[in-house]
Amino acid sequence: MIAERLQRGEMNAIHSAELEAQFDCNARTIRRHVQKERRSGIVILSSERGYYLPDARPEIADSEIRKYFKRINRAAHGSIKTLGAMKKAGDGIGGA
């Protein structure tokens, strides 16, 4: 389980490359395992530093979770806009 290898707090994040070496797999496999653990209810955060668990101090953990949520929410909205534009373009040429 990836969560068992992670430390608390963004300052202790573990980069994907290090996890790849520990688990002897590629980045895609790491992402899939993280996604599976997240969907099972384990809070695994990520940033440009790597993957990590929320800080043990509630006020810092709350800040880290909000920061992560904000970033993921922006990415999701961007994807939805792109899909809408692609659908509109496809409708114009008789596709999608």
Task: Read off the pLDDT of residues 21-73 as tens digits, 9 standing for 90 and up.
Answer: 999 999 999 999 999 999 999 999 999 999 999 999 999 999 999 999 999 99
The pTM of this model reads 0.82
CA of residue 52 relative to chain centroid, distance: 10
Q: How confident is the model at residue 94 (pLDDT cuts 50, 70, 90)?
A: low
- What pLDDT, on a 0 to 100 scale, did the predictor assign at position 87? 87
- What pLDDT, on a 0 to 100 scale, did the predictor assign at position 91? 78
Q: What is the chain's alpha carbon radius of gyration, rounded to the nearest angstrom?
A: 17
Query: Residue ranges of the alpha helices (H) in 24-57?
Result: 27-39
Contacts of 15 (CB under 8 A, 6+ apart): 49, 50
- What pLDDT, on a 0 to 100 scale, did the predictor assign at position 90? 83
Residue 53's identity, in one-letter code, is L
- What pLDDT, on a 0 to 100 scale, did the predictor assign at position 92? 65
